[in-house]
Structure 1
């Protein structure tokens, strides 16, 4: 007889992400199987952090849709000064808190909530921002514009943006320029600078 899971009970299966560089290199962190969570693959992370090499050390970092925390933890491993994580999903948020504790990362802040509602509560001068929102929810452009409106970015801030490949109506703030752009399967990655 097959067992079935209650529809109300969240799945608690998990996987792992691996930190690929820096002081936490090769450390594995647990990631829960949460609907819509797409941890950035090692291949993409390698490209992204090659792009970001000049920008991570001593940076004040914001990870807007943290999910597994893979991008923020990678920045921490590469000597970011501070990382602020924002995650809406309660289970993913709880796992982020456990991974922060596991790494003894006391130079982090963790917020549980809707990114667009949390951003107005922040008072950062962020040097490096990760924006990797859930796909097909029209969050990328609004997050970029809100960061600019709230003046949360350093003058020459660098922004890594990951969106679904088919997104064609991406509207960026006028004072942002695209430094790099690359397609990885169904994902398009941008390196932007204010």
Structure 2
């Protein structure tokens, strides 16, 4: 219990769940370098796009960070949501929040997202990718997802990237929005004849 209070005291902000069963509940967001939770407006747009496909789906939040995308998906009817977070204290905070929400449809894994993707036998209907912008984590994740067929047919991948960044090879733009310097896109995997 003391550890929970200690983590809560280290949290510097809160982000609210904007829809579903947990609408209005808040997630603690600690001050971590590179952590930038998806803004409410972008999440609202994204989950409006997903409203017909999300209920009953299996989702992956591969770079969980604040957990906002994964918790929002679980709140809105996803069957199962897996959150991957490589920072152990942040993964523990996500676990504590899942327990506080009585979220039996959320699983948190403490792991490097790329390594986890390279080894998982799981398949998903919706995958959220919001890695740190510096580096090539987004391209690496999309490559592994395509190579290992981690996305089910007709599945969707949500990505956040720097505005103006090129679209990864092998992926088709399904939906797109912009907020400041962030580009948010829903992608479908290209078929060989597409």
* TM-score for both structures, normalised by structure 2: 0.88
Number of the residue aligned with 1:181 = 176
Find the aligned partners of 2:119 and 2:103 in 1 and give their Cα distance: 22
Gaps of 5+ in 2: 1-8, 190-194
Number of the residue aligned with 1:8 = none
Moved over 3 A (4+): none
Number of the residue aligned with 1:171 = 168
Number of the residue aligned with 2:94 = 96
Matches for 1:46-65 after TM superposition, within 5 Å: 46-65=44-63
Gaps of 5+ in 1: 1-10
Number of aligned residue pairs = 181
Alpha-carbon offset, residue 45 of structure 1: 0.7
What secondary structure, in the 3-state scheme, does the structure 2 residue paired with 1:93 have?
helix
Alpha-carbon offset, residue 58 of structure 1: 0.3
Superposed CA RMSD: 1.4
* TM-score for both structures, normalised by structure 1: 0.88
Alpha-carbon offset, residue 51 of structure 1: 1.1
Provide Cα deviations, 1:9-39, integer angstroms capped at 9, x if missing partner.
Answer: xx92421110000011001121211111001
Find the aligned partners of 1:172 and 1:156 in 2 and give their Cα distance: 18
Find the aligned partners of 1:69 and 1:82 in 2 and give their Cα distance: 14
Alpha-carbon offset, residue 120 of structure 1: 2.3
Alpha-carbon offset, residue 118 of structure 1: 0.9
What secondary structure, in the 3-state scheme, does the structure 2 residue paired with 1:92 have?
helix
Number of the residue aligned with 1:111 = 109
Name the one with the larger helix percent. 2
